[in-house]
Amino acid sequence: MLPYIGRRCLQLIPVLLGMTFIVFLIIRAIPGDPARVILGQQASEELIVALRQQLGLDNPWYIQYFEYLKGLLTGDLGESLRTKQPIVTEIWPYLAATIELALFAMILAVVIGMNAGIISAWFQNSWFDYLAMIIALIGVSMPIFWLGLMEQWAFSINLGWLPTSGREDVRAPVEAITHFYLIDTLIQGRFDQFLTTLKYLILPGIALATIPMAIIARMTRSSMLEVMRSDYIRTARAKGQKMVKVVYRHALKNALIPILTVIGLQTGLLLGGAILTETIFSWPGIGRYIYEAIGFRDYPVIQSGILVVAFMFVMINLIVDILYSAIDSRIRYN
């Protein structure tokens, strides 16, 4: 197993390097000048030229790229053109905010999606099956933007149950340690704040979870249906074993591989696709960090932000691959 992980990690290097290169070229191909955006509408041409020089933007692209790579090798992601802060320190709170939200959304999606799929498969062609699959179809096709605003309208404005936006009650802010607020509040023994943090997670969590939840439900259903047609399940059902036992002991384990693949892929997509949710719910996450950087043509931030997200995407795939062998002992990595 270990050599396999090592090999996979080595493979990461060319993948990420290729990524930085592509991102580097694409963002420089789009028109728009960071110096002009930084100086605002009033600036004169000479000033813009001076600032470009100071920011190193007047160098040929390959020199800029190698400078960037050199920095990466020493663990330096560069400095934001806009805020002048080192990205390494600036990026962490955003990243933590997104990971917390994404994990929360994934737990929601997996728990609800898988169970809905399992029940649909077990009671195939029942009213629950039809209903769940119709909901799943709506879930896949629902625009997140619209869903988010509707959630705010229903649960915050009309019912007053949940906050509309943000990560915390700004009037009683969380003291950040790790920047994972659920963990921070527990470390400080602030159970009240822990619950508040959870409340802030629910609406964006649901908005973000909807699509993966629907996809997982559909995948689980079809995968389970296939397994349940097999002889050993039929035997177990004939023996009169309880549904929970048959499903969770016997069937699920064999149906899990494709489901796990989908979960892995969806988690990666979730990380990259959190921009809309983060904008509607003013969630200070990495999606918004990159989005705002694009508006300001803050090249180092765009590059590093995408690099970090890509890194996590690849890591999730690695974890999924490792989990395969844990679930199905026939899979070996030699």
Partner 1 sequence: MKNKISTLWLLLVLCLVFLLVACNGSESTEPEDTTEQTNEETEETNESVPQVLVFGRGGDSVSLDPAIVTDGESFKVTENIFETLLDFGEQDTTVHPGLAKEWEVSEDGLTYTFKLEEGVKFHDGTDFNAEAVVKNIERWKGGAEEKFYYFHSMFKANGEDIIEEVIAEDDYTVVFKLSRPQAPFLKNLAMSPFGIASPTAFEAAGDAFGDNPVGTGPFKFVEWKRNDSITVAKNEDYWQEGLPKLDTIIFRAIPENSARLNALLAGEIDLADGINPSDVSIIEGDANLQLIERPSMNIGYLGLTNTRPPFDNVLVRQAVNHAIDKQTIVDAFYEGLAEVAVNPMPSSISGYNEEITGYEYNPEKAKELLAEAGYDGTPIELWAMPVPRPYMPDGQKIAEAIQKNLEDVGIPSSIQSVDWATYLDRANKGEFDAFLLGWTGDNGDADNFLYTLLDKDNIGSNNYAYYSNDEVHDLLISAQSEVDEEVRNELYKQAQEIIFEEAPWVPLAHSIPLLAGKKGVTDYYPHPTGSESLKNVSIQ
Residues 209-238 that bind partner 1 (CB under 8 A): none
**100-159 binders of partner 1 (CB under 8 A):** 107-108, 110-112, 148-149, 152-153, 156-157
Residue from the set 2, 13, 44, 73 that interacts with partner 1 by CB under 8 A: 44
Shortest gap between Cβ of 12 and partner 1 (angstroms)?
Answer: 27
Residue from the set 161, 187, 232, 258 that interacts with partner 1 by CB under 8 A: 161
Which is closer to partner 1, CB of 202 or CB of 315?
202
CA dihedral 191, 195, 201, 202 (to 10 degrees): 160
Task: Report angle CA 186, 189, 195 to the nearest 5 degrees.
Answer: 60
Shortest gap between Cβ of 275 and partner 1 (angstroms)?
Answer: 11
Which is closer to partner 1, CB of 130 or CB of 248?
248
- Bridge partner residues of 79 (DSSP): 86
66 binds partner 1 (CB under 8 A): no
- Those residues whose C-beta lies under 8 Å from the C-beta of residue 54, and which sit 6 or more positions away, are none
202 binds partner 1 (CB under 8 A): yes
Strand ranges, E, within 121-234: none
- Neighbouring C-beta atoms of residue 180, cutoff 10 Å: 17
Residue from the set 11, 248, 258, 331 that interacts with partner 1 by CB under 8 A: 248
Shortest gap between Cβ of 71 and partner 1 (angstroms)?
Answer: 18
Shortest gap between Cβ of 126 and partner 1 (angstroms)?
Answer: 22
Ramachandran area for residue 93 (φ above 0: left; ψ -120 to 50: alpha; else beta): alpha
Which is closer to partner 1, CB of 270 or CB of 314?
270
- Bridge partner residues of 86 (DSSP): 79
Residue from the set 99, 135, 162, 186 that interacts with partner 1 by CB under 8 A: 162
Classify residue 305 by burial, with Cβ atoms within 10 Å: 0-12, 13-18, 19+. Answer: buried
178 binds partner 1 (CB under 8 A): no
**255-314 binders of partner 1 (CB under 8 A):** 279-282, 284, 288-289, 292, 294-297
**90-109 binders of partner 1 (CB under 8 A):** 90, 93-94, 107-108
Buried b (16+ CB within 10 A) or exposed e, 8-31: beeeeeeeeeebbeebbeebeeee
Residue from the set 178, 249, 319, 332 that interacts with partner 1 by CB under 8 A: 249
Long-range CB pairs of 242-251 (<8 Å, 24+ gap) are 243/122, 247/118, 247/122, 251/224, 251/227
Classify residue 1 by burial, with Cβ atoms within 10 Å: 0-12, 13-18, 19+. Answer: exposed
Shortest gap between Cβ of 48 and partner 1 (angstroms)?
Answer: 8
